[in-house]
Amino acid sequence: MTSIDPVLDKNGVRLTVEDAVATVTLTNPDKLNVQSPALWRALTEAGRSLPGSVRVVLLRAEGKSFSAGLDRQAFTPEGFDGEPSFLDLARGSDAELDAVIAEYQDGFAWLRRSDIVSIAAVQGHAIGAGFQLALSCDLRVVASDVQFAMRETSLGLVPDLTGTHPLVGLVGYARALEICATGRFVLAGEAERTGLANLVVPAEELDATVLDLAGALLTAPRDAVIETKALLQGAHGRSFEDQRAAERAAQARRLRDLAGLAD
């Protein structure tokens, strides 16, 4: 990746921007990019720091693994420095606990914004929160050594960082349930076959492949990509006739815009 001054560099997250492409990098390879509430807040800040010129967001990680998931320190009585432990959070009211989890989810949800296309470049382990972070992106390019796993259920928890909706959408309910309930590994071949991965490449080609894909995404006019993404995102929740109507409305907006007649 090109060396440029970061817009943000804190708590294991670095954001750089070059023209229409922003790169969000996880920067704690010595600990396999394990995640914490501080990292999730930094991800949220990265999303809020994107200039309006950004059209594509690349999400990548330094080192041999994308992310080994939640830092197990979260389950200790002391938790993280300056943070309530998860045990302390559990003692809060329903409203307080809901608000805290919603704040954590914000670090993941912005990657689905309609005005950007997000691509995860995933190598090595993507476990639990790491798997969910990759699922937050629109597209996933994975190295041939990738190992996805959803381990929350085996810890007595559920995947709560916005990963369940895209997982079911990609692989279907039955396979999603089996992946989550068993906590097994999903390797590159299965990931590509089931739609979890758009492309599988050798690890040494991962960054270059993602940059090539970003370049291809930038060839179409921005507004056409935004409208198309919105159509596809909403398709699952619409009937066939409602989707037809949505297509007509979107195309009418595009035609008027191209004719210089847009509001």
**Read out DSSP for the chain?**
------SEEETTEEEEEETTEEEEEE--GGGTT-B-HHHHHHHHHHHHT--TT--EEEEEESSS-SB--B-GGGGSTT-STTS--HHHHHTS-HHHHHHHHHHHHHHHHGGG-TT-EEEEEE-SEEETHHHHHHHTSSEEEEETT-EEE--TGGGT----SS-HHHHHHHH-HHHHHHHHHH---EEHHHHHHHTS-SEEE-GGGHHHHHHHHHHHHTTS-HHHHHHHHHHHHHHTTS-HHHHHHHHHHHHHHHHHHHTT---
Structural domains in the chain (count): 2
1 pLDDT tier (thresholds 50, 70, 90):
very low
Q: Provide the domain limits for residue 118.
A: 8-217
Q: Are residues 135 and 96 in the same domain?
A: yes
| Domain annotation covers residue 63 | yes
Residues 74 and 135 in one domain: yes
**Same domain, yes or no: 233 and 210:** no
263 inside domain: no
pLDDT in tens, 189-242: 999 999 999 999 999 999 999 999 999 999 999 999 999 999 999 999 999 999
- CA angle at residue 170 from 101 to 176, to 5 degrees? 65
1 inside domain: no
Shared domain check, 227 and 116: no
User: pLDDT for 59-109, tens place per residue?
Assistant: 999 999 999 999 888 878 777 878 878 888 889 999 999 999 999 999 999
Q: Are residues 22 and 50 in the same domain?
A: yes
Q: Are residues 128 and 234 in the same domain?
A: no
> Is pLDDT above 50 for 130?
yes
Q: What is the pLDDT of residue 3?
A: 64
Specify whether 110 is located in the same domain as 35. Answer: yes
Residue 140 shares a structural domain with residue 184 = yes
- Residue 122 and residue 241 share a domain: no
What pLDDT score does 81 carry? 79
Please report whether residue 2 resides in a domain.
no
